[in-house]
Amino acid sequence: MTFYQQLLSETEQERHALMTLPLIVQGAQGNITLETYRIFLTQAYHHVKHTTPLLMACGGRLSGEYEWLRTAIGEYIEEEMGHQEWVLNDIAASGGDKESVRNSATAADAACHETEVMVAYAYDMINRVNPLGFFGMVLVLEGTSTAVATQAGEKIMQALKLPKKAFSYLFSHGSLDLSHVTFYEGLMNQVTKPEDQQMIIHAAKRFYRLYGDIFKHVATQAAASQPLVAAA
C-alpha cells in the first residue's frame, strides 16, 4: 500500500462524515437556495484567500530534505494564486455584493467562527507543529472539490437559473481539477518519514471535521435567514 492509499484508508470515516452532511448532499442535488449559495461563497472566499499565503508559509518552513516539495509548492502557488477573486466574481454574478464580502462590511459578510478556526489551525500546524501537516488540508479541499464541485455547480446552476459565470469557483475546482489530485498523490508517495506521514493523516482528520463545521454553519445561517411564515 502506498502512503497515499494509506492516507485515504485511514481518513475514510472522516471523509464519509463530511460527504454525508445534509448541505453537501443537497448541494450535489442542486437543492439549495440562492441565499445558501451566497453564504457558501462568502465563507469560501474567507478561506480561499489564505491558500497562497499558507502555501508560501509551508514552503518557507520546510527543512532542506524537503527541497523537492518546496519546488512542488511553487507550482501549487502558480495554480492557486488569485482564486479568491474567482469566488468574489461568482458572488457578484449571483447578485451579491462582492466588495462588501471582500471588506467584510457587515457581520454576515465576515469569516464565521468556523472558517477562522480552520484557517488558524492551518497556520498553527505550519508554524508550530509540522509544515507537512498542511497537506492534510490539501487532501480535504482538493478531494472534496473533485468529488462534488462540478456536479453541484451544474445542478445549482439549473435550479437557480444563474449564468455559468456565477460558478467559476466550483467548476474550476471540480472534475477539471483532477490533475491536482494526481499531482498530490505523487507528492504524498514521496513522503517516507513515518512521523511526517502520521502528522499528515492526523491533520487530514482534523481538517475534515473543521471543513465540515463550515458547512454546518452555512446551513444554520441560511436557515436563520429564511423569513418566518406566520401560523394560519
pLDDT tens, residue by residue, 74-110: 999 998 899 999 999 999 999 999 999 999 988 989 9
For residue 137, being part of any structural domain is answered with yes
For residue 193, being part of any structural domain is answered with yes
Q: What is the CATH number of the domain that holds 214?
A: 1.20.910.10
Convert the pLDDT of each residue in 9-23 to its tens digit: 999 999 999 999 999
Asked whether the predicted pLDDT for residue 173 surpasses 80, the reply is no
- DSSP annotation string for 98-149: HHHHHHT-SGGGSPPHHHHHHHHHHHHIIIII-GGGHHHHHHHHHHHHHHHH
Task: Tell me which residue has cell 462524515.
Answer: 17
Convert the pLDDT of each residue in 178-191 to its tens digit: 677 889 999 999 99
For residue 230, being part of any structural domain is answered with no
Return the percentage of the chain with pLDDT > 70, whole number: 95
- Alpha carbons 230 and 232: distance in angstroms, whole number: 6
Q: Domain residues for 139? A: 3-224
User: How many structural domains compose the chain?
Assistant: 1
What's the whole-model pTM score? 0.94
